Structure 1
Amino acid sequence: MVTERAPEPLSGMQERARGTGLAGALVRACRPRQWLKNLLVFAAPGAAGALDEPRALLVCVGLFALFCLAASGTYLLNDVHDAPADRAHERKRHRPVASGALPVPVAVTAGTLLGALAPLASLALGDLRVTGLIAGYVVLTLAYTRHLRDIVLCDLVVVAGCHVLRAVAGGVAVGVPLTSWFVLVLSLGALLVVVGKREAELRAAGSATPVRRTLGGYTRSYLTQTRTMASGAMIVTYFLWALEPGGTTLWHTLSIVPFVVFVLRYNLLVDRGVGEEPEEIALRDRPIQLTLVTLVALVAAGIHL
């Protein structure tokens, strides 16, 4: 029998968290801010110019919702698994499960239901390949939580792979072909973001023992070199696509500028140590937002004009 520890005094932030009620704690544990990653399902249909078709847009919106369900389910189960370590982390100790605002049984039940509901609900889209991709995402994420994240390099590949799965699912659901250029740029971009996150986490840990086990297997110089490699390869790949003879337009060529500025800006932010939460960069950094809007506008112009 496991003896329960007496609850520790709650901080002011934790008291406010509990004051919002169980429903509020559950919503926060689902991490709505991180649903931003699921916008990747629009990437392939958007690049193919298919989003102006009502059916394709509706399918993508439904797929986005399904990935939000799947992601939230895995976040809840991840937080239950990580609760002991999160309590030792300056920021993560305020998460609903770690702080006690969300009881473990509730988090496990909700996480299991959401993780199972997403692939089951995807059957309504009528494509078993999409169901397989969503189920694969759930399984891969849970395997990452249980074991794969403790393996150096494997943790980078798995998280980047989850980003790629989202984008591939969008293309498959709408029925647009995934070009080699698209997959390469997307994969390199996913690797850049994941490596930047690890580097920022390692910087934040400083001389203290990192909470994430695999961080001890990396060095700052290695992560910086890997980030530089991914950035350079990503830029070159985008150049080759944008300048492909007969395959692109002037608008695509012009999109090189915001694309390069985006990569440079992101690397600058990581060097400043603020890449630990990539979604916060996208939500708060105005230069990043401006370059992304400009990039999307120029690519859209190349497709539709």
Structure 2
Amino acid sequence: MRPKQWVKNVLLFAGLLFTQDQQHAPLHWVKAIAAFFLFCFLSGLTYYVNDLLDVEADRQHPKKRFRPIASGRLPLGVARVMAGLGIPALLVAARLLEYDLSGWPAWKFFTAASLYLVVTLCYSFVLKHLVIVDVLVLASLFVIRAVAGAFVINVPISEWLLLCTLLLALFLGLSKRRGELVALGSASPTRAILKEYSLPMLEQMITIVASACVMSYTLYTFFSKSQNGQSRPYLMATIPFVIYGLFRYLYLSHKKGMGEAPEATLVEDKALLVNILLWALVALIVLRL
């Protein structure tokens, strides 16, 4: 279930973080945490499906051949049963999570969780074989996480949140593809899609997306308003953290060869982790002013 990948689901707290000017009941925090764990298990079970489909290719990969399904430590039948029973159970839980003291609201969080599942399965079966589309689809999954986090606590979704999330996800996805190519070196790719990419092309894409990401986040801090319509100029204090984070990630990717696994890089590099925590702390303080 790749728990190292679960760090991606922290995005479900974005809606809670960026609406700190509102009065959140304790139930909102409980539901946000529950939604986080639900997406962790849902994404984990979709990895079962992905690894079942890629089992033969993974067995030819120098690292992926050690995965439980590819190595034979997890029998294929057990993996199929876990995915077949676990995924429907989690969708039921997603609907139950929407209940609050006022009753049953619209099926928003359930729809977001279902869309995440559908998009992930489409990626595993077809879309991961389409150049550029594969990275765009992976980025869309990050956006769905952010949307789901807003839906579960019933807060408005900022278009800036969606745009910044999409661009950051594209940056990480393209950097991952670059890292995979660098790790392969002169060896033949075990994944056909990697043959469609080249380092110069990916580096140009990364430059474009990183620039757009900084600009979008900067504009967000310029125009962000509280629930009562007041501007929040002090949010601009978080811009240096975003710039440093992107630059630090590029440094780790180019000089340390850590771009192949974004989820590991984000939590294993102390400077990057401290930067993310400081960004969250400053944003929380500013938004509560």
The TM-score normalised by the length of structure 1 is: 0.87
Q: Is the 8 A contact 1:75 1:111 kept in 2?
A: no
How far off is 1:236 after superposition?
0.7
- 1:294 aligned residue: 278
SS in 2 for 1:264: helix
Tell me, which stretches of 5 or more residues in structure 1 are unaligned?
Answer: 1-29
CA RMSD of aligned residues (A): 1.5
- 1:256 aligned residue: 239
How far off is 1:243 after superposition?
2.7
Amino acid at match of 2:167: L
Select 1:92's aligned residue among 61, 64, 77: 64
Q: Does residue 14 of structure 2 align to residue 46 of structure 1?
A: no
Q: Deviations over 1:256-292 (max 9, x none)?
A: 1111100111111222321111111122101111110
Matched residues, number: 275
Q: In structure 2, how many angstroms separate the alpha carbons of the residues matched to 1:188 and 1:223?
A: 15
Q: Does residue 164 of structure 2 align to residue 185 of structure 1?
A: yes
SS in 2 for 1:89: coil
Greater mean alpha carbon deviation, residues 92-101 or residues 174-183: 174-183
Q: Deviations over 1:88-147 (max 9, x none)?
A: 111111100111100000011112222222211111123411111111111111111111
How far off is 1:61 after superposition?
1.0
Q: In structure 2, how many angstroms separate the alpha carbons of the residues matched to 1:163 and 1:171?
A: 13
Q: Deviations over 1:34-75 (max 9, x none)?
A: 111111110112111158531111111111121112111101
How far off is 1:244 after superposition?
3.1
SS in 2 for 1:175: coil
Q: Does residue 15 of structure 2 align to residue 37 of structure 1?
A: no
Tell me, which stretches of 5 or more residues in structure 2 are unaligned?
Answer: 100-105, 225-229
Q: Deviations over 1:169-218 (max 9, x none)?
A: 01111111111211111110011111110110011111221122111111
Q: In structure 2, how many angstroms separate the alpha carbons of the residues matched to 1:105 and 1:93?
A: 18
Q: Does residue 285 of structure 2 align to residue 285 of structure 1?
A: no
Q: In structure 2, how many angstroms separate the alpha carbons of the residues matched to 1:51 and 1:271?
A: 43
Q: Deviations over 1:15-40 (max 9, x none)?
A: xxxxxxxxxxxxxxx11111111111
Q: In structure 1, how many angstroms separate the alpha carbons of the residues matched to 2:260 and 2:24?
A: 35
How far off is 1:240 after superposition?
1.3
Q: In structure 1, how many angstroms separate the alpha carbons of the residues matched to 2:23 and 2:131?
A: 38
Q: In structure 1, how many angstroms separate the alpha carbons of the residues matched to 2:47 and 2:117?
A: 10
Q: In structure 1, how many angstroms separate the alpha carbons of the residues matched to 2:258 and 2:40?
A: 25
Task: Report sequence identity in percent.
Answer: 32
Q: Is the 8 A contact 1:51 1:57 kept in 2?
A: no
- 2:198 aligned residue: 219
Match runs of 1:1-305 below 5 Å: 30-49=1-20, 52-124=24-96, 125-126=98-99, 127-244=106-223, 247-250=231-234, 252-272=235-255, 273-305=257-289
How far off is 1:238 after superposition?
1.2
Q: In structure 2, how many angstroms separate the alpha carbons of the residues matched to 1:53 and 1:226?
A: 42
Q: Is the 8 A contact 1:71 1:115 kept in 2?
A: no
Q: In structure 1, how many angstroms separate the alpha carbons of the residues matched to 2:219 and 2:122?
A: 36
Q: In structure 1, how many angstroms separate the alpha carbons of the residues matched to 2:68 and 2:62?
A: 14
Q: Is the 8 A contact 1:87 1:98 kept in 2?
A: yes
Q: In structure 2, how many angstroms separate the alpha carbons of the residues matched to 1:247 and 1:202?
A: 44
Amino acid at match of 1:290: V
Q: In structure 2, how many angstroms separate the alpha carbons of the residues matched to 1:117 and 1:65?
A: 14
